């Protein structure tokens, strides 16, 4: 078998374990046996390519939908997507999904007793530019209850999916907001053992990104693999 140049394995503690008792559903889906180590092959170190023409400018604007403006605090979320050597990942597809300002997803499974917003669908997609930069305009998602344990509430968050240049760099994660008191109580956030790695999931307010009189700006850089890798979702 031909062995190609491969990606390094993650540092211990910088990624969540497959099973984390406080995050109840991980116990149902985690493998019960130790993983088998396989060498990376060509099918893993290549990946899908997405044509920028398939993503419109409107796809990155979640602040308006269905002929009107979404309710809530308008925000800009931007940053760079980098590889393990801090090089920009150009023309890579990023998709996000999130709850509306009241903490409700536009999804049949979400039955939380909070109002839907007819002008917010909660889905967005953009491609990074030649510098690896992405940008979304959206509204700040609300916290919402979930049934992981008694009186469990998720901190405000935005789900991210990145395809990156290969299947090995595929990343699904969540972005959080600075100063959220629910972070200390959240088993998903706290399933990442390493404190510094955990903080990589928290965006920073950036006044230079902020549009005066219009929208508060947040910066959230994402690193695909390597020692500074953004933690994945369990």
Q: Which residues are known to be catalytic?
A: 105, 144, 154, 157, 159
By C-alpha distance, which of 170, 29, 176, 167 is closest to 98? 176
- Specify burial of residue 31 (Cβ count, 10 A radius: 0-12, 13-18, 19+): exposed
The helix/strand/coil state of 171 is strand
CA distances from 97 to 125, 184, 193 (A): 9, 23, 25
First to last CA, the chain: 31
Strands (E), 22-154: 64-65, 68-69, 74-82, 93-97, 123-127, 133-139, 144-146, 152-154
């Amino acid at each position: 078998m031909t062995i190609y140049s491969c990606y390094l394995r993650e540092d211990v503690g910088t990624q969540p374990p497959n099973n984390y008792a406080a995050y109840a559903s991980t116990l149902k889906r985690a493998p019960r046996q130790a993983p088998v180590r396989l060498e990376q092959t060509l099918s893993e170190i290549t990946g899908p390519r997405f044509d920028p023409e398939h993503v419109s400018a409107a796809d990155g604007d979640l602040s308006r939908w269905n002929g009107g403006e979404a309710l809530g605090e308008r925000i800009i979320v931007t940053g760079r997507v980098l590889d393990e050597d801090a090089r920009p990942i150009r023309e890579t597809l990023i998709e996000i999904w999130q709850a509306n300002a009241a903490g409700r997803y536009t999804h049949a499974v979400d039955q939380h007793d909070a109002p839907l917003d007819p002008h917010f669908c909660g889905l967005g997609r953009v491609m990074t530019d030649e510098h690896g930069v992405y940008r979304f305009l959206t509204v700040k998602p609300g916290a919402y209850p979930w049934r992981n344990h008694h009186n469990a509430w998720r901190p405000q968050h935005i789900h991210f999916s990145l395809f990156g240049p290969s299947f090995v760099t595929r990343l699904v994660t969540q972005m959080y907001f600075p100063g959220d008191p629910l972070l200390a109580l959240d088993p998903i956030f706290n399933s990442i053992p390493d404190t510094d790695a955990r903080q990589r999931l928290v965006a920073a307010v950036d006044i230079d990104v902020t549009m005066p009189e219009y929208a508060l700006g947040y910066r959230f850089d994402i690193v695909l693999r390597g020692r500074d890798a953004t933690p994945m979702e369990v």
